Amino acid sequence: MTTLAPTIPAALTTRRPPGLFANTATLAGREFRDALRSRWFLLYTLAFAVLGLAVSFVSAAGTGSGGLSGFGRTTAGLINLVLLVVPLMAMTAGAGSIASDRERGMLAYVLSQPVLRIEVLLGKYLGLAGALLACLTLGLGLCAAILGVKGLKTSPESVLWLAGLSFLLALSMLSVGFLISSIARRSSAAVGTAIFVWLALVFVSDLALMAGQMAMRMRIETLLAWAIANPLQVFKMWSLHAVDASLDVLGPAGLYAVEEYGRGLHAIFGAALAAWIILPLVLASLLLSRRSPL
């Protein structure tokens, strides 16, 4: 009888779930529905739409393009809004996902079922990614629709580029949020860390680049490398470059990038954002597989 005890847990641990994609899709659908019913989705969508309309009207009514030749003033104003709102929205949503389930004991309950940890991570990630896509689509779509009804001229191609790049930025920040959430044990600590990282990416990085250029006489190649290392700077440069805007609004680093790489910048910017999407998610998966769910 003593030989039967170890065989029962072994059989349970080797039992495989019905399928990776089926379980992931089920978890993603649950996470997506929960996100749509949550207050953060409604508040972020309304705030993004209202602020987008305000920025759009101000930009469309302004005079002078500030070097943005061939680039709609409306989209130029929306870029700055995306840089502030979307990273905060995605990072806090990702930071509260795993940490809140761990704090409430839900993570241990889910992992006690015949489901793999990578399935839980991917399901949560895809569900929140779908909610963020819906939020961005509603916000930017509402802005474009109202501006079209009001007769304010804007470029549909620029809006589509902005929507696509905003979603890539949201995915990268969502991955960072998941990495933070896989480390923290409490949701409050995870969200607080996410806000701190957001502030560092938005403000500290810009100040560091300015200080490096003015005080330290940083080489232009090094300055561009530091800019590409920041996903927010990558989004900003790619958004401008995608619609053939002049990158001189970004200073000498932007001019150097255009002269040195030309159309190859699309591949460079895409690889940079892809790295920010994949690498934090891989690290989060490794941490989740090795840490206790409690």
Q: Per residue in 6-48, pLDDT tens? A: 333 343 344 444 556 788 888 899 889 888 888 777 888 888 7
Q: 242 is written with which tokens?
A: 């995608």
Q: 163 is written with which tokens?
A: 């929507």
Nearest residue to 266 (alpha-carbon basis) of 246, 245, 226, 237: 237
Confidence of residue 206 (pLDDT cuts 50, 70, 90): low
Q: What percent of the chain has pLDDT over 70?
A: 72
Under 8 Å between Cβ of 187 and 107:
no
Task: Give the C-alpha distances (Å, rounded to integers) separating 83 from 4, 80, 152, 230.
Answer: 59, 5, 23, 12
Nearest residue to 277 (alpha-carbon basis) of 171, 132, 181, 164: 171
Return the pLDDT at 197: 93
pLDDT at 171 over 90: yes
Return the pLDDT at 13: 41
For all residues of the chain together, what is the average pLDDT? 78
Average pLDDT over residues 258-268: 78
Which pTM does this prediction carry?
Answer: 0.83
What is the rounded distance in angstroms from the CA atom of residue 253 to the CA atom of residue 225?
Answer: 9
Confidence of residue 241 (pLDDT cuts 50, 70, 90): confident
Return the pLDDT at 84: 87
- Radius of gyration over alpha carbons of the chain, in Å? 22
pLDDT at 104 over 80: yes
In this predicted model, what pLDDT tens digit does every residue of 37-76 receive, in sequence order? 887 778 888 887 788 777 766 765 554 444 443 345 667 7
Nearest residue to 155 (alpha-carbon basis) of 79, 80, 75: 75
Return the pLDDT at 279: 96
Return the pLDDT at 147: 67
Q: What percent of the chain has pLDDT over 90?
A: 24
What is the rounded distance in angstroms from the CA atom of residue 10 to the CA atom of residue 280?
Answer: 32
Average pLDDT over residues 141-165: 73
Confidence of residue 159 (pLDDT cuts 50, 70, 90): confident
Q: b/e for 81-90, b at 16 or more Cβ within 10 A?
A: bbbebbbbbb
Return the pLDDT at 6: 39
Return the pLDDT at 122: 93
What is the rounded distance in angstroms from the CA atom of residue 28 to the CA atom of residue 13?
Answer: 24
Q: 239 is written with which tokens?
A: 């958004």
Please state at what angle helix 265-290 crosses helix 220-228, rounded to 10 degrees: 50
| Every domain of the chain and the residues it spans | 20-61+69-290
Return the pLDDT at 153: 58
Q: 249 is written with which tokens?
A: 């609004």
pLDDT at 124 over 70: yes
**Between residues 79 and 179, the one the model is more confident about:** 179
Amino acid identity at 148: G
Taking the CA atoms of 273, 277, 169 and 203 in sequence, report the sign of the dihedral they define: negative
pLDDT at 112 over 80: yes
